[in-house]
Amino acid sequence: MRSPRALAAAVVVVTLLGGCTPPTPTTSPSSSPSPVAVDLTAPEQARAMIRRLIAKAGTPRLIQVEIAKEWAAITVVKDDQPETWAWRDNTIKQVDSDVAYVQQRVFSIDEFNIDNIGGLFRAAAAISGSESGQELQIVDSSAGELFMSVSTLPESRTVFFYPDGGLLPTLDFNTEGGIQRGLDDVTATGANALAIGVQSNLGAWVDLPGSATTTIRRLRTSTVPVTINERSQRSDLPTFSVSRVRASAIWRVLADARLKGLFDAGTRWQVTVDDRERTGIPRMHFTIGSTSLTTDLDGQELTR
């Protein structure tokens, strides 16, 4: 009689000779798990990822943040030099970038409400009409102010948000409210102006003294926050307080022009406020359609 051990050995031999194979394991012990996808548009995911990138960069001093559904990047300032870190393909690493540090404003991610990027993307899509390739960016604007903006690829209208997530309003410069908000935005610095203007098809602007050879213009269009442009030409106009210009007085002139049949919804108009006569008192110079007139700061027409 064979022993139990001999019988077991015989069974193994018969099994192998019979062509049977042991079951294949479903997972090889040496295989690595697939990368876990992270959707940065899900609540709280974007902030968590930006914090991971900041930890890798070793400093929270940000000058740019970019967030899309499946990738994110930050640019920080270290020893007065920019350094960019990105999360792509489930990997965080330092990457090359063309972002330069030109003394733009350094900010903290804690200043911004990025807890629900998906909500910001949906709001932006409702305004721009596109949700293709959406990307959120935080960067210092030329006016020294910080906004969040959502753009698309292919490019459509860029939509801007305040740091708290509130939507930058679209201004209609054919309304008194739009004129008021535009003037408030461009004159927020409170400095004395060389000239102030509003154009129905452009927006509100103010010219300020720059250096000895330059003039600075702050411009607020209907859909874009205040931008700054420095021209290499210094105006010799006398300056005046920006508080002297009132949207209500501008609107009074436009309302009167409407009553006279000079102004309707399709009429282009503009006003420039300056002291070109050098009297010490600025005046408002209007062009409404093909009609030109000059008024005092209360909107009363002046005769030459």
pLDDT of residue 140: 87
| Helix pair angle (176-186, 247-259), 10° resolution | 150
The closest alpha carbon to 97, from 108, 83, 87, 118, belongs to 83
**Amino acid 227: pLDDT:** 92
- Specify the DSSP class assigned to residue 106: P
- Quote the pLDDT of residue 141: 75
Task: Give the span between the Cα atoms of 127 and 122, in whole angstroms.
Answer: 9
Residue 32's pLDDT is what?
40
**Below-50 pLDDT ranges, the chain:** 1-35
Residue 55 is given by DSSP the state H
For residue 27, count other CB atoms closer than 10 A to its CB. Answer: 7
| Phi, psi of 240, deg, nearest 5 | -150, 160
User: Tokens 């807890």 label which residue?
Assistant: 115
